[in-house]
Structure 1
């Protein structure tokens, strides 16, 4: 029996196939190579009868047949072999599960290590049991959005698929082990460092809005450091993200109360708009600089009123004038008068080094783009309350598309 001819084309690329308990195999690829050709070669060289074949790059990305034409010379491909007719479970067959690293309304997140490449990944598993009555296309919108995004400050999606029985969606994501920005939001963080993190967030969201995508649940917990010793961040959890102008589900509020814009809490809010991300970005910047969130009250009702009235304070002794002006451009109701993400991106706070000055007031209130007066004296200017140290964790929870209640009526 002769080896299948892979060298008929002038554009031949030499690759290496590696599989468990098998010697490395030289593969010659051209533009006509199919999976069936590779399976024939494996049958001859490794003496294995196959019914199914999967190929992976060294970074854990799965290679589909249509991608073979783009494989570069010298690439190492890892092979998963099976005699089963059905596609094997990726969790059991391809990854060693280390531990659970997260859980939310959509499913769980596991830390996995690729058996061949030893690459660490985050495995997000969404069970369709929690999404009864919804279309699969709607449930899988997160993977569609992540596939459309390619930015250094947005988490990478390596691959995703629907299991054979259509009961789970598994997404293989870039693993980020530096912790969330929630851990950085305290009184010890300098304004310069807060600006460094904020600039990356703003750039990433500007990229999203340029591609007509709204995150819808921006918060400190959804922004991760890439590693413990790095100041590079990536935005995660696009599970409730939508496209600009997409209809909001009736009688539902998506997001986390402390970061929600006033219009999102209104029953007249019908379509997803970028303005809600801008408001959340302002809350994140405020949280990084001051160590607390701008509108948090003693209970959800007070938080709701503070948001509607744009009621926030400046609790530090000294901050830059540019920062105060930036916040006054963001915390504005109605949203049409609010700065957009590109205005924020070009704001002077990101252009200049912070110049600190002492404020002559203790606490403040703002209800428009220009008003920074009527300052209240409810707490000492030196008091910095750490974000999420309160025990009222109920208004920290993200509200998903499953909540079919008028949330704004509950908290009024």
Structure 2
């Protein structure tokens, strides 16, 4: 936490302290308050003994004991409590491991079952001994953020355990077995079906943005179906998520190139902003409707150039005016001019039964991009048979899951400039 210019040396301040599954309590901070004093209060009010206490602001900034003097009246603090012995006992007594269902990197994923409720869960074990510090920080960030989120279309993190003896981090998460939404993204999916999935995605991200959280790696691979028979989705993988306004690492771009917004690839981008999620949602909607990604080129350099110039095409198929307008207000290079998630949430394509038009292409290729798309959408209202365009790229979405890609921005720009 950055120290403020002023300290509350002689002031008693009333703050709110909350924690997972606990009612908020009033915390009175005086100039001599220490963590041990807060832990004693927690023991009395919440009846919890903790071996370790960590405090966070609402934006995710961690508070050290020396920072308590700078906390202002009315501040809301979030407490993360750790009792390792009790946690491990709860894990052993609470769950049975049925079988291993996946692995990746240093993580193993098991199918587990709660011994009392019989609820199926995914148990993810990560070896802390072989992980780099940055990877562990991302895991900690993911668990902290997921603990704050409770939405029907976001994967749930039930519990997190840290075992210092075996040097493992164990996450108990909601079990999803319907497969990736990527499998649904093909040219046979209708707009109505695509709209069903898109509404759920937009609602979930609007919920996140209300809480100042940016996912930062939205893509079809990070959206799962709850079950094979249901059409409800869950957004997963908050490993690189962050809060509005947090510093952006210019040396490493976290995400997947085909879904990255133009500003993220710019050397002038300094802070995490929600517009990058909106851009990625546009790519997801486009992928669901057309079965391919809007800026995907035959090479990374072509994809890179397409993103920076907002160069996307509308394939040869029936499409609604409402969808065209929605894409035109999402794929805008300047994030300040781009629609926000609440504009998308209230857009008529997601809320009305859109009229599907037959495109009359007649062999004409028209580029649909930032500079012309809004003008073209206004002109389509004058005529239902106006020509739009054919797709240039024949690339299809890769059907294999892509992990988070780290791109060195400087070398990438030089290489593909």
Structure 1: runs of 5 or more not aligned:
1-30, 37-83
Asked if residue 334 in structure 1 is aligned to residue 334 in structure 2, the reply is yes
In structure 2, what is the equivalent of residue 206 of structure 1? 206
Compare 124-133 and 181-190 and name the one that shifted more: 124-133
Structure 1 match to 2:374? 370
Q: Structure 2 residue aligned with 1:387, among 377, 397, 417?
A: 397
Per the TM alignment, residue 239 of structure 1 is displaced from its structure 2 partner at its CA by 0.7
Q: CA offsets per residue over residues 147-176 of structure 1, 9 Å max, x none?
A: 101111111111012212383321111001
Question: 1:257-294: per-residue Cα shift (whole Å, max 9, x none)?
Answer: 11000111112212111000000000000000001110
How far 1:179 moved relative to its partner? Answer: 0.9
The alpha-carbon deviation at position 129 of structure 1 amounts to 4.3
CA contact (8 A) 1:189 1:289 kept: yes
CA contact (8 A) 1:252 1:406 kept: no
TM-score, normalisation: structure 1: 0.71
SS of the residue corresponding to residue 158 of structure 1 reads strand
Paired with 1:246 and 1:352, the residues of 2 have a C-alpha distance of: 36
Distance 1:355 1:93, change over 3 A: closer
1:110 offset after TM fit, Å?
2.9
* Structure 1 range deviating more: 340-349 or 124-133: 124-133
Distance 2:308 2:369 in 1: 11
Partner of residue 231, structure 1:
231
* In 2: Cα distance, 1:144 partner to 1:206 partner: 19
Q: How far apart are 1:108 and its partner, in Å?
A: 3.9
SS of the residue aligned with 1:234? strand
Q: Does the 8 Å CA contact 1:154/1:235 hold for their aligned counterparts?
A: yes
TM-score in terms of structure 2 length: 0.70
Closer, same or farther: CA 168–407 of 1 in aligned 2, 3 Å: farther
Distance 1:196 1:33, change over 3 A: closer
Indicate conservation of the 8 Å contact 2:138/2:240, yes or no.
Answer: no
Shift of 1:409: 4.0
Separation of aligned partners in 2, 1:222 and 1:210: 21
Counterpart position of 2:104: 103
Cα deviation digits, residues 304-345 of structure 1 (max 9, x gap): 111111011110321000000000000001111100000000
Partner of 1:279: 279
**Greater Cα shift, 272-281 or 244-253:** 244-253
Query: How many angstroms apart in 2 are the aligned matches of 1:236 and 1:295?
Result: 23
> For residue 66 of structure 1, what is the aligned residue in structure 2?
none
Q: Look up the SS of the partner of 1:237 in the other structure.
A: coil
Question: In the alignment, does 2:252 pair up with 1:252?
Answer: yes
| 8 Å contact from structure 2 (residues 185, 291) kept in 1 | yes
**Structure 1 equivalent of residue 33 of structure 2:** none
Q: 1:166 to 1:253 in 2, by over 3 A?
A: farther
Contact 1:95 1:115 in 2 (8 A): yes
Query: 1:238 Cα shift?
Result: 0.5
Q: How far 1:114 sits from its partner (Å)?
A: 3.6
> Deviation of residue 91 (structure 1)?
7.5
Write out per-residue CA displacement over residues 61-99 of structure 1, whole angstroms, 9 at most, x where no aligned residue: xxxxxxxxxxxxxxxxxxxxxxx9994594798331412
Q: 1:86 to 1:259 in 2, by over 3 A?
A: closer
Preserved CA contact (<8 Å) 1:187 1:386: no
Residues 107 and 351 (structure 1), Cα distance of their counterparts in 2 relative to 1, 3 Å cut: same
Note the aligned Cα RMSD (angstroms). 3.3
Alignment CA distance shift 1:33-1:179 (3 Å): closer
Q: CA deviation at 1:102?
A: 4.7
The DSSP-based 3-state class of the residue aligned with 2:172 is strand
Structure 1 residues 33 and 202 mapped into 2: Cα distance closer, same or farther (>3 Å)? closer
In structure 2, relative to structure 1, the CA distance for the partners of 1:265 and 1:166 (3 Å cut) is farther
Residues in 1 aligned to 2:86 and 2:269: alpha-carbon distance in whole angstroms: 49
Query: Cα–Cα, structure 1 residues 377 and 93, in superposed 2: closer, same or farther, change >3 Å?
Result: closer
CA contact (8 A) 1:153 1:204 kept: yes
Q: What secondary structure does 1:171 align onto?
A: strand
- The alpha-carbon deviation at position 408 of structure 1 amounts to 4.1
Change (3 A) 1:407 1:98: farther
| 2:343 partner SS | helix
After TM superposition, give the deviation of residue 136 of structure 1 in Å: 5.5
Indicate the residue corresponding to 2:76 in structure 1. Answer: none
Aligned to 1:266: 266
Larger radius of gyration: 1
Shift of 1:301: 0.7
SS at 1:172's partner residue? strand
